[in-house]
Amino acid sequence: MKQQQGYDEAMDALSSLITKKNRSSQKSNPVDVDHRFDRMFHYLKILDLEEPISQMKIVHVAGTKGKGSTCVFTEAILRNYGLHTGLFTSPHLIDVRERFRLDGEDISREKFLKYFWWCWDRLKAKCSDDMPMPTLFHFLALLAFKIFAAEQVDVAVIEVGLGGRIDATNVVQAPIVCGITPLGYDHTEILGNTLEAIAGQKAGIFKRGVPAFTVSQPHEAMQVLKDKASQLDVHLQVANQLDGNLLNGLRLGLAGEHQYVNAGLAIMLSSTWLQRTGHPEFKSIDQTSSLPEQFIKGLTTASLQGRAQIVPDRACDVNSPSDLVYYMDGAHSPESMEVCANWFSLAIKEDDRQRCSSSHKYDDSRPSNDSRKDSEQVLLFNCMPVRDPQLLFPRLLDTCAGHGVNFKKALFVPNMSIYTKVGSSSSLPPTDSKVDLSWQLTLQRVWENIICGEKGNTESNGHVYDEGKDNDEMSATSCKNSIVFSSLPLAIKYLRDTVKQNKSLRLQVLVTGSLHLVGDVMKLVKK
């Protein structure tokens, strides 16, 4: 209990570092952003981290899509060489400790609190009006460097938070190798609204003479990466997509065809790190015919929450957990939405095929109740107001339709996680019954217009859906193809009730649009 209290105090302290009132208030004065980055070097002095970071053997990864997955693959490969690994990624879904992994495991509460208060107390003692406390992500990056230095990791795999050039992690001056994952349009309000501008920010992690790898990129982005590399004498190479036949019949630990691109990049980052740090046990990579056993084991056992993750609702009081299954992916850009739709469509087909196959193992003449059930697909969605649903929804719907998959219903909900509060896994924040649903209603309107055509289905707008006796609590705006719920728990209750009331129905729920929404669903479903 005492440790929980100390942990809650740490979460309150972290929450005090949040500078924006909500996730969509992203526009910052460029001068302020530069100043915040410059302050990182002063914070490093306060925490005596300059020398430890210069000695750290770092893999630094930026990009629009797949950088977290690439980092996870890279860490898993190097860990399977017996190395003591540190991994820093973002965001976290349930508990902030997910951002800091030691040897593949989230940092323990004891170690987290030890290093948290060590950093916090020293910064508090030295900071002033002229040198304010770091913002949340800057503090978390500093904490990661402190943890990895104190734990004396052999390798630190560091994921860029946003952009690259002035990202908090870019205090790294001498990484062993750098990587740039697929680039696309995201955070354009900060990074610029052209691929050239975005690529320029990402290439900001290149360091003179340090080898770098990327993947196949749009021409305009690739040209910028090449130009930046040339200016810094960086040997930039393009990593090939992994050939799945090299995994000896196994599957990647992270699902989705797009992960073979990330895995190919991770292979080159890992092999280059091993070569440049003089590990004699490593034999040069030959991606054309075989992979070392450690690479295969790392790639096939890597795990990352909220990316192409399938979670049955075991809390649902039905005959089988497979009656309500959540397919979760934190896609939030047009490109990643298409990737997510492909994964979801193929995953539900594979699940249905396996279910039918297993139901006939014992008696081909009598299919089980499970195999006779009708499968319906439901979308559970939210995204930040800076996203454009007019770009997201068509990519999702068209890609799914190409696989013959259509959504019976779309459910729109506000996130439960509170932006001004860093939560922990111990409890869920209370649901505010007076939450502003204007954005969710906008999402619903766009969805209905796309589904029904430009005329929409206006006669159904404003219809109130009621479930149970507590009308005030259960009210939600329902249209022909969608429902807006005032909270996520109400949407989950609706899904569970739907399955309970229809014994011949199986619901396959795609949860996407926001990693924070995915984390909120996990808190509810895994409790």
CATH of the domain at 487: 3.90.190.20
For the ranges 33-47, 48-62, 429-443, 493-507, the maximum mean pLDDT occurs at 48-62
Whether 257 contacts 58, CB under 8 Å: no
Q: Which tokens go with 521? A: 């669903």
For the ranges 33-42, 261-270, 463-472, 497-506, the maximum mean pLDDT occurs at 261-270
| Section 194-199 average pLDDT | 92
Closest residue by Cα to residue 221 from 245, 193, 197: 197
Q: Is residue 466 part of a domain?
A: no
Kindly state whether residues 231 and 293 are assigned to the same domain. Answer: yes
Q: Is residue 242 part of a domain?
A: yes
Lowest model confidence (mean pLDDT) among 24-33, 78-87, 391-400: 24-33
pLDDT of 518 above 70: yes
The pLDDT, as a whole number, for residue 281 is 78
Kindly state whether residues 245 and 314 are assigned to the same domain. Answer: no
Kindly state whether residues 256 and 335 are assigned to the same domain. Answer: no
The pLDDT, as a whole number, for residue 220 is 94
pLDDT of 50 above 80: yes
Q: Is residue 2 part of a domain?
A: no
pLDDT of 467 above 60: no
The pLDDT, as a whole number, for residue 53 is 97
Q: Is residue 330 part of a domain?
A: yes
The total domain count for the chain is 2
Kindly state whether residues 47 and 107 are assigned to the same domain. Answer: yes
Q: Is 360 annotated as a binding residue?
A: no
Kindly state whether residues 78 and 183 are assigned to the same domain. Answer: yes
Whether 513 contacts 413, CB under 8 Å: no
- Range 107-110 contact pairs with CB under 8 angstroms and sequence separation of 24 or more: 107/147, 109/3, 109/7, 110/3
Q: Is 307 annotated as a binding residue?
A: yes
pLDDT of 13 above 80: yes
Kindly state whether residues 279 and 379 are assigned to the same domain. Answer: no
Kindly state whether residues 272 and 210 are assigned to the same domain. Answer: yes
Which pTM was predicted?
Answer: 0.86
Range of the domain at 45: 31-301
Q: Is 48 helix (H, G, I), strand (E, B) or coil?
A: coil
Q: Is residue 468 part of a domain?
A: no
Closest residue by Cα to residue 168 from 213, 138, 202: 138
Q: Is residue 8 part of a domain?
A: no
| Section 476-486 average pLDDT | 91
| φ, ψ of residue 331 in degrees (nearest 5) | -60, 140
* Angle (deg, nearest 10), helices 109-126 and 2-15: 40
Whether 262 contacts 73, CB under 8 Å: yes
Q: Is 459 annotated as a binding residue?
A: no
Kindly state whether residues 294 and 347 are assigned to the same domain. Answer: no
Q: Is residue 125 part of a domain?
A: yes
Kindly state whether residues 124 and 151 are assigned to the same domain. Answer: yes
Kindly state whether residues 114 and 232 are assigned to the same domain. Answer: yes
Kindly state whether residues 92 and 222 are assigned to the same domain. Answer: yes
Q: Is 159 annotated as a binding residue?
A: yes
Residues 223 and 220: their CA atoms lie apart, in Å, by: 5
Q: Is 329 annotated as a binding residue?
A: yes
Answer with the one of 301, 321, 336 that is the final residue of a domain: 301
- pLDDT digits 0-9 by tens, 293-312: 999 999 999 999 888 999 99
Kindly state whether residues 286 and 323 are assigned to the same domain. Answer: no
Lowest model confidence (mean pLDDT) among 27-36, 78-87, 128-137, 458-467: 458-467
Concatenating the DSSP letter of every residue in 216-248 gives: ---HHHHHHHHHHHHHTT--EEEPPPP-GGGGT
Q: Is residue 449 part of a domain?
A: yes
CATH number of residue 104's parent domain: 3.40.1190.10
User: pLDDT averaged over the chain?
Assistant: 87
The pLDDT, as a whole number, for residue 297 is 97
